Every structure is written in structure tokens, then in C-alpha cells.
Amino acid sequence: MLLSIIILNYKSKNLVRNCLRALFESETDFPFEVIVADNNSNDGVGAMIKENFPQARFFQSGENRGMGAGNNFAVRQATGKYILIVNPDIFVFPDSIAKLVRYAEANADVGVLSPQLLNPDRTLQHTCYRWHKLLTPLYRRTFLGNFDFAQNEVSRFLMLDKNHGEIFEADWIQGSCLLIPKKVFDQVNGFDERFFMYFEDTDLCRRIKNSNYKTIYFPEAQVIHLHRKQSGGGLTQLIFNKLMREHIKSLIKYWWKWRV
């Protein structure tokens, strides 16, 4: 098997349905498998897949183990040379998968490959980054981002000096849609499961880069990402927004692990 496509579901049955429909309509000249793992959603996703997409492989994890552990669980079922980690809110175009695999096959030094992510109106989402500095998350999520010094840092972080219509190497890429050779994923032991949600993708890219592989932003392949930022809202949201608190917890774990 050349490619295993991984979808991790948590209470996103309708998104999974749309994602699967687009995946199985892809124009490829190679076999691929689709694996859906569920983090104990109890949303009926298994029955939906059995009825509508019997060619997909479905696995129930039995508990919500988070993004990293849930994807690791799914990847352990995979048989492909490459794994394509796809969030349920991703919609691929017919040629997206073929373009990604073709580039990976021609570039053995690539450890992470990402398509260009677009909003539903086809505007660009900035999903490739340089490494965080200590205050980067604070600048992005609070009123401090209004100051010039903070805007300069955010521009550096988002790689706004790059032409996002061209292929280039990034430090790390958002984990919504990533193609990774399975041997590379296994070599670095997959996602660090201490990150329940957020920074598991940053950490994975860092370990892959430290293993002398490249992280490539590849805009010749495009996908739609129905992105909803759920962890923003400023400092007051630390009280009310569980996902923002989880983001802060993961940031602290990340800084402690890497101490950079």
C-alpha cells in the first residue's frame, strides 16, 4: 500500500462524512486506504461509515485520548508507505492527494509535506511557521498584538516575508493536513502523547527536523480547511474557554520539553 489516510474523529460525524466523500472521489493512479479512528465520540460515526463508506477502515479507541494519542492509535493500523493525517474539517480537491504523493516520491529528504490550506472562499490560511519565541503566543492572542513590535514578531512567525504561492521549507506546519513517510513517523515515535491538544504538531515537526528531514510547504496541492479558531479570545478567556486553557498547558509543556 502506498498511502494510508488517517482521520481522527471527535464529535464531528458530519465533517467526517464530507471529508470521506471528497477523499474517495480523488483522482489517483495508486491504491490508498482510509482509516478513521474515533476518540469515544458516541456520535454515530461508526454506523455512518459502515453504511456510506464500507471501503474505509474504522477503529474505536474507547476513550478520548487527545489529538496525539488518537492519531498514534490510528497510524498503528496503517500499512502505507506514507501517512496523510487529515482533520475532519479538511476537503481535498480531486488532484490534491496525487500531487502530494508525487512530490514526496521525488524528494526522499522530505519528512513533513503540507498542501496549501484555503478558507472556503479560497483565501489563504497561514499554516506554516517559524519557531515560536517566548512571547509569540501572547502577541497573537492578546491586545499586545496591536503594537508594532508585536506585529513584526507575528509577521516573522507566520513567514509573511515568503511568497506563499511557492514551495519553501518551514520550521513547522499546522497539523490539519500533513503527509509523512511512515518510516519517519515511526523513527521519531509519532506524536508525543503528553500533548493532549495543541503543540503536538509543533513538537512532531521539531523532532522530524532534528532527524535531518525537511518540512515542506507545498502550495501546488491545495485543500479547503473549515477552520474555527476555538482557543483565542484574550486573557479573560482563560476563565471561560477550556480550549484556551488547554492551549496554555500545552505551550508550557512544549517550552519545558525544549527549553529554547
Residue 110 included in any domain: yes
| pLDDT tens digits for range 120-140 | 999 999 999 999 988 788 787
Inform me whether the pLDDT recorded for 241 exceeds 80. Answer: no
pLDDT confidence bin for 15, thresholds 50/70/90:
very high
Domain around 192: 3-126+164-228
Domain count for the chain:
1
pLDDT of residue 229: 55
In a domain, 7, yes or no: yes
What's the CATH number where 117 sits?
3.90.550.10
Residue 232's pLDDT band (boundaries 50, 70, 90)?
very low
Q: Can you give the pLDDT at residue 235? A: 47
Residue 63 lies in a domain: yes
Q: Does residue 39 lie within any of the structural domains?
A: yes
Three-state SS string over the chain comes to CCEEEEEEECCCHHHHHHHHHHHHCCCCCCCEEEEEEECCCCCCHHHHHHHHCCCCEEEECCCCCHHHHHHHHHHCCCCCCEEEEECCCEEECCCHHHHHHHHHHHCCCEEEEEEEEECCCCCECCCEECCCCCCHHHHHHCHHHHCHHHHHHHHHHCCCCCCCCCCEECCEECCCEEEEEHHHHHHCCCCCCCCCCCCHHHHHHHHHHHCCCEEEEEEEEEEEECCCCCCCCCCCHHHHCHHHHHHHHHHHHHHHHHCC
Query: Is 60 a member of any domain?
Result: yes
- Domain assignment of residue 11, yes or no: yes
Model pLDDT for residues 186-198, shown as the tens digit of each residue: 999 999 999 988 9
Q: Is residue 55 part of a domain?
A: yes
pLDDT class of 246 with cuts at 50, 70, 90: confident
Residue 101 lies in a domain: yes
Which pLDDT belongs to residue 43? 94
Higher pLDDT, 63 or 5: 5
Answer yes or no: is pLDDT of 204 > 70: yes
